[in-house]
């Protein structure tokens, strides 16, 4: 009797749970924690984003699944979402409008996927985004900006992708960036990377945190830290006069790879050329430059001093000689006078 009642109530409770789940839309493979507004669907072999989420869900954990594509409407009723973890899935591309409903999203984790291309609209609809993890994907290049709503981004991870370069404009469009991670890419350290170097120096100077840029090519810079390659070696790209190029060619013959690139980009579109030209932006004060200035000033001062000394010596010598000449002249004049006097006498 008691057992039957217990069974009955258990059935009742479980059916109530199922009904509330259905009403709230918890996917059968997920765990929905109402209190923390979290939906946990990790490690469930899911191939798509669960369509219905309990109203007001703030955290959606979808890591370690096999999601390949995200439908344009996957997040239509997820506007309260603050954290979206899609790490370790099989996503190869993102439609530009995928995240457009996520007005409150703060953390978007897309690490360990197969994303190869990022559209400039994909993250454009996320006005509160703070952390964007795009590490361990196949990203070959990034757009010139991540959109016009990226002012709150404080962390950007691009580690372990296939990036050769990054547009300085993209980084400059993230004014609140505090942490940026670059390691594990195939950075090409020719003149194209000059803008990144300038930006990174200024970013670190302002207290930003970065794991640095390690060059992959050209061969002679492989494994080198971008920040430790002196500015002078990028001079080739800045000069547009081909005569200067030829004059420099000999001097920089060991950097032939980048020279070729500089040449080809020079004959290419205007855009690539201006891209390559280091603009006279305010740089953080560099010790090397200060030193160079001191040395040049010293040399010029030395030359001036030497010239003044020479002038002084010359002046003295001249004065002495004229004095001597005058003395001799006057004495010879006297002698002459004497002689003539003798003669007249």
Ligand X SMILES: *[C@@H]1O[C@H](CO)[C@@H](O)[C@H](O)[C@H]1NC(C)=O
Contacting positions for ligand X (CB under 6 A): 63-66, 87-88, 107, 109, 111, 120, 124-125, 131, 133, 143, 145, 147-149, 155
Using the minimum distance from each CB to ligand X, give the nearer residue, 125 or 203.
Answer: 125
| Cα gap 317→284, rounded to integer Å | 50
Q: How far is the CB of 96 from ligand X (least distance, A)?
A: 9
The tokens for 138 are 């196949």
CB of 300 vs ligand X, minimal distance in Å: 48
Side-chain-facing half-sphere of 262: CA atoms under 13 Å: 30
- The CB-of-89 to ligand X minimum distance in angstroms stands at 7
Q: How far is the CB of 110 from ligand X (least distance, A)?
A: 8
Structural contact between residues 265 and 272, judged by C-beta atoms closer than 8 angstroms: yes
Nearer to ligand X, 131 or 277 (CB): 131
| Angle, vertex CA 332, rays to CA 329 and CA 335, nearest 5 | 155
Which of residues 122 and 185 has its CB atom nearest to ligand X in the complex? 122
Contacts 24+ apart (CB under 8 A), 63-70: 63/87, 63/88, 63/89, 63/109, 64/88, 64/89, 65/41, 65/89, 66/90, 67/91, 68/92, 69/93, 70/94, 70/95, 70/98
Q: Which is nearer to ligand X, 147 or 218 (CB)?
A: 147
> Given the structure tokens 């703030």, which residue do they identify?
58
- As measured in angstroms, the least distance from the Cβ of 193 to ligand X is 21
Nearer to ligand X, 156 or 226 (CB): 156
The nearer residue to ligand X, 133 or 221, going by C-beta atoms, is: 133
Is the Cβ of residue 75 or residue 234 nearer to ligand X in the bound state? Answer: 75
Q: Which is nearer to ligand X, 91 or 262 (CB)?
A: 91
**Best CA proximity match to 151, nearest among 177, 125, 133:** 177
Question: From CA 61, how far away is CA 40, in angstroms rounded?
Answer: 5
Cα–Cα distances (Å) from 52 to 2, 57, 75, 269, in that order, read 38, 10, 9, 49
Which token pair is 256? 């032939």
Q: Which is nearer to ligand X, 135 or 190 (CB)?
A: 135
Tokens representing 270? 């205007």
CB of 233 to ligand X, least distance (A): 31
The structure tokens 């950075």 sit at: 187
Neighbours of 123 (CB within 10 A): 25
At closest approach, how far in Å is the CB of 23 from ligand X? Answer: 30
Question: Could you tell me the smallest distance in angstroms from the CB atom of residue 109 to ligand X?
Answer: 4
Rounding to the nearest 10 degrees, give the CA dihedral for residues 234, 240, 244, 249: 50
Smallest distance, ligand X to C-beta of residue 167, A: 11
In this structure, the number of other CB atoms found within 10 A of the CB of residue 186 comes to 14
């Amino acid at each position: 009797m008691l057992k039957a009642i217990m069974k009955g109530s258990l059935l009742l409770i479980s059916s109530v749970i199922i009904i509330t789940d259905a009403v709230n839309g918890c996917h059968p493979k997920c765990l929905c924690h109402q209190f923390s507004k979290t939906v946990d669907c990790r490690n469930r072999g899911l191939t798509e984003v669960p369509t219905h989420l309990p109203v007001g869900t703030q955290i959606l954990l979808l890591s370690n699944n096999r999601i390949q594509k995200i439908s344009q409407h996957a997040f239509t009723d997820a506007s309260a979402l603050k954290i979206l973890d899609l790490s370790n899935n099989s996503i190869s591309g993102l439609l530009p409008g995928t995240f457009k409903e996520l007005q409150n999203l703060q953390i978007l984790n897309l690490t360990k996927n197969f994303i190869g291309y990022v559209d400039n609209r994909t993250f454009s609809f996320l006005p509160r985004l703070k952390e964007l993890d795009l590490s361990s994907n196949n990203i070959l290049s990034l757009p010139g900006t991540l959109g016009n709503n990226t002012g709150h981004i404080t962390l950007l991870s691009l580690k372990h992708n296939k990036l050769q370069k990054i547009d300085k404009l993209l980084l400059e469009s993230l004014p609140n960036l505090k942490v940026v991670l670059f390691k594990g890419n195939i950075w090409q350290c020719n003149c194209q990377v000059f803008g990144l170097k300038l930006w990174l120096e200024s970013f670190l100077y302002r207290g930003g945190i970065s794991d640095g840029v390690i060059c992959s090519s050209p061969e002679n810079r492989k494994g080198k830290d971008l920040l430790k390659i002196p500015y002078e070696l990028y001079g080739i790209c800045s000069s547009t006069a081909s005569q200067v190029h030829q004059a420099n060619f000999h001097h920089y013959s060991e950097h032939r790879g980048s020279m070729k690139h500089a040449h080809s980009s020079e004959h290419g579109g205007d855009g690539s050329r201006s891209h390559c030209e280091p603009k006279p932006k305010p740089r953080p004060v560099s010790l090397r430059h200060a030193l160079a200035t001191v040395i040049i000033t010293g040399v010029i001062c030395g030359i001036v001093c030497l010239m003044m000394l020479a002038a002084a010596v010359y002046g003295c010598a001249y004065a002495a000689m004229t004095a001597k000449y005058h003395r001799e002249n006057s004495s010879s004049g006297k002698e002459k006078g004497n002689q003539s006097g003798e003669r007249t006498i």
